[in-house]
Structure 1
């Protein structure tokens, strides 16, 4: 009796990496499943053993992104007791995603509207969970802010980090990390050295 063929996780990873590269350079509609398969070194119908459609590839890419951000966020919140330091870690994670995984971040930003409706809604729920932790930490650090103000600042800080996706200024990666981190810090108005004033007792 022939044993069923198992799907190779490494091959699935190659498909997703190839898809991120092609989609970032050419856009969702200009890339075919055969293009992705060829770039991943998979011939014929092999790609369909892992993904049934191009939309399924996009869904898998986006799930991998947001799940990774959520996982790192939860680990940071659970392990870092100093709230400003924890928020800085979240900033660093977002900066690293944008700088180190630029192609994937570009696809995530530009192609989300091409997801099937149900997957789009599911992804939005995950995004809200991710943002809520930023808002919660900022409110703990800066209790003078209203809920609306905290949310506006969080969106502005993440927007500042992601702004580099729209242009390539040729900066070295380490310098870009410092600039983006500084922009987010300045937007949120807090840093690891920030101290919340408490009434004297």
Structure 2
């Protein structure tokens, strides 16, 4: 008789299952609100039985935390690469804008869930993510400050929040625009909020390809 495969081997058959669960949860949460979604709903959307989710996540809260961690980590990773690239401040700022636009368009559903559902997290997780968010904003402020020496600290932060808000306005309505045109307009609006023009080398390049 052939020996059965160990349980660990069985779980490795579908390495994309965890990502399917997260994608399903994000889609349902964006449509219905996370509090109305059950584990069985997420399983059905992902094409697996609800009990199979517990191989990857202990609870629905754990799914929400993983979703929000993922999008925040992507933004932080992009900013980290830009700020260590050695680019001048104007080029770095434009790159931060374009990276955020890419996330807002490509991960639109998850980023929308972040804004709508972060208040539903356990307090310690909510505070941790809020700290990460504030640190991310401060990275923009640090790059903007030498370019806008006419602005006080509070005014710099207001400009950054306005730029990020302009980019993320696309999360809450469907514009019907093609991604390339949407990215182009968001790029223009974010630069306008900051009062900074894009470097000539980037101005002619598409913000999203």
TM-score, normalised to structure 2, is 0.87
Shift of 1:173: 1.1
- Per-residue CA deviations over 1:120-164 (Å, capped at 9, x if unaligned) read 001011111111100000002222221111001000111111112
Shift of 1:69: 0.7
Q: Does 1:113 align with 2:116?
A: no
Q: Does 1:59 align with 2:62?
A: no
Note the residue ranges of structure 2 that are not aligned, 5 or more in a row.
Answer: 201-209
- Contact 2:191 2:198 (C-alpha < 8 Å) held by counterparts: no
Q: Which of 1 and 2 has higher RCO (CA within 8 Å, sep 6+)?
A: 1
The correspondence for 1:35, drawn from 41, 61, 70, is 41
- Bigger CA drift: 102-111 or 175-184? 102-111
- Per-residue CA deviations over 1:46-92 (Å, capped at 9, x if unaligned) read 10111111111000000011011101100011014221111111101
Give the distance between the partners of 2:83 and 2:40, measured in 1 at CA.
Answer: 42
Structure 1 residues 50 and 183: alpha-carbon distance in aligned structure 2, compared to 1, 3 A threshold: same
Structure 2 residue aligned with 1:50: 56
Structure 2 residue aligned with 1:5: 8
Note the residue ranges of structure 1 that are not aligned, 5 or more in a row.
Answer: 195-201
Structure 1's consecutive aligned runs of 4 or more residues displaced over 4 angstroms after TM superposition are 1-4, 6-9
Structure 2 residue aligned with 1:199: none
- Contact 1:85 1:191 (C-alpha < 8 Å) held by counterparts: no
TM-score, normalised to structure 1, is 0.90
